[in-house]
Amino acid sequence: MPFDREALRRRLDELERQIQDPEFWSDQERAAKVSAEHARLRHKLAELDQLEQDLAELAELEPLAADDPQLARELAEQRRKIGARLAALAEERLFAGRYDRGDAVVTVNAGAGGTDAQDWAEMVLRMLMRWAERRGFRVELTELSPGEEAGIKSTTFIVHGDNAYGLISAERGVHRLVRISPFDSQKRRHTAFAGVEVAPLVEEVTDVEIDPEDLQIDTYRASGAGGQHVNKTDSAVRITHKPTGIVVQCQNERSQSANKETALKILKARLLELEERKRQEELRRERGEAQDVNFGSQIRSYVLHPYRMVKDHRTGVEIGDVERVLDGDLDELIRAELARRAGERGLTTVGG
């Protein structure tokens, strides 16, 4: 269990011994990783200790609330806050995957629906980025291909933070929008699709080998806002992995070499996700289970006309406040999907 405090303290002691080693800072990269894990564990232990203390204080005050309406209201608010903290901690129990606790590479592609799909892809990008920022993650936009009239054709961004991949992997799949098209002069209802791909970003990928002969590397001029912001050199990089057809691009770095390095990281992440998907499909075949088509599946519908509703087709969760969801409030939907996955694996779910 992730919240075994004795195990956390033993790991913290081990990290502290490493930090006290006189040679610790000789390897800056390793030192940074150890220091980050040390800080994260210290924060987690402090959080658990504080939560235990708050629960004890709440239990002591509960008997007094029966005769004090003001205190009863205050305790109700404290219970709500503690409940939210417990739910966030319980959420971490759902991360059983090898890469769940690390960073993620997210790609959004416009699907069928023309200009509406490109506009919808941009809305999905905004929704996911706002969700990530609300969670306190750092978001790094690496590539964006604008649409001809509006929206975007595709984009890729990296989400940095604890459990980023485990969380945002719940958004992998096809997102469907139904609305009165703002691009239709006759104000007819249109359906548009956007696909979301999510891959784990790991520093050292040992499971994936790339033959340089399998790569087609092209450079091009990065698109910009116009005027002085337009990149005057061919610094953007596009890499095509010929055996799989996977294409990745990066244009946000200042130099061609930096863009190439980032693009290669993204490619490795995408190939790693492909291998993980193949392994999962093989396991399902061995167990005789129906295969999950992942990216090809329609996971969620966002209906703006003739009624207003967001429905997740995997979990059955429905939310009437569409604007709240589109503004990045995805936690209810994501937690429900993580709980569904945990149920498939026989794990305890949030609130279970």
Residue ranges of domains in the chain, CATH in brackets: 5-94 (1.20.58.410), 103-345 (3.30.70.1660)
Between 43 and 283, where is the model more confident? 43
Strands of the 309-312 sheet, one edge to the other: 138-146, 152-160, 103-110, 189-201, 173-180, 298-303, 309-312, 318-319
Answer yes or no: is pLDDT of 116 > 60: yes
Question: What is the rounded distance in angstroms from the CA atom of residue 98 to the CA atom of residue 78?
Answer: 35
Give CA angle at 158 (153, 15), nearest 5°.
170
What does the pLDDT read at residue 95? 81
What does the pLDDT read at residue 85? 84
Query: Which ranges in the chain belong to alpha helices (H)?
Result: 5-20, 28-65, 69-91, 114-134, 164-168, 256-287, 322-326, 331-345
Its pTM stands at 0.73
Instruction: Give the Cβ contact number of residue 34 at 10 Å.
Output: 18
| pLDDT (tens digit per residue) in 322-333 | 999 999 999 999
Question: What is the rounded distance in angstroms from the CA atom of residue 350 to the CA atom of residue 340?
Answer: 10
| pLDDT (tens digit per residue) in 185-241 | 999 999 999 999 999 987 665 567 788 999 999 998 876 543 333 444 678 999 999
User: What token pair was written down for 334?
Assistant: 């994501």
Answer yes or no: is pLDDT of 2 > 80: no
Residue type, 172: R
